[in-house]
Amino acid sequence: MHKNAVVTTLCYLEKDNRYLMLHRTKKEKDINKDKYIGVGGHTEHGESPEECVRREVLEETGLTMKSCKLRGLLTFVIDDMDEFTFLYTSKDFEGQEIECSEGELAWIDKKKVFDLPLWEGDKIFFTLLEERQDFFSLKLVYVQDVLKQAVLDGRELEIIK
């Protein structure tokens, strides 16, 4: 990995046909400002993706995942940075939700997710989460916040604008 590469996790908790999403509103300098995303974050030194996603979900939501499923690998190419994101879902968690320091947590009906302010590429992986049960690899190339290329399992997708 080159010096401008990072490893992150992203998780969507599922309950009653809804996803727990984070409306990113509280940080000033935030690439995700005002967008809805899942919970997760950067791996720490010596931490596996599974350890990271469990820690991040607990820190951001107050919920403890009893199990989670690795659904995909997202490769974000954003200007001069590469981000490798391990994408998880979980239906098996417990605890009391807390207030998140990065934004407002909200349970969003899966049918309404596409009505929210999302990254263009997130719409692709939300579709994959619903339509596929197998592991997928999705590369999303952004130039100045505009999705320029999407490659699913090694095959380029047509981007409809």
> Can you give the CATH number for the domain in which 138 is found?
3.90.79.10
Segment 21-45, tens digit of pLDDT: 999 777 667 676 788 999 999 999 9
Which residues, 6 or more positions from 125, have their beta carbon under 8 angstroms from its beta carbon?
A: 72, 74, 87, 136, 138
In a domain, 121, yes or no: yes
pLDDT of residue 30: 63
**Residue 150 to residue 120: CA distance in whole angstroms:** 10
Instruction: Give the structural domain span for 145.
Output: 5-156
In a domain, 11, yes or no: yes
In a domain, 90, yes or no: yes
Number of domains within the chain: 1
In a domain, 71, yes or no: yes
pLDDT band at 102 (very low <50, low <70, confident <90, very high): confident
Segment 79-89, tens digit of pLDDT: 888 999 999 99
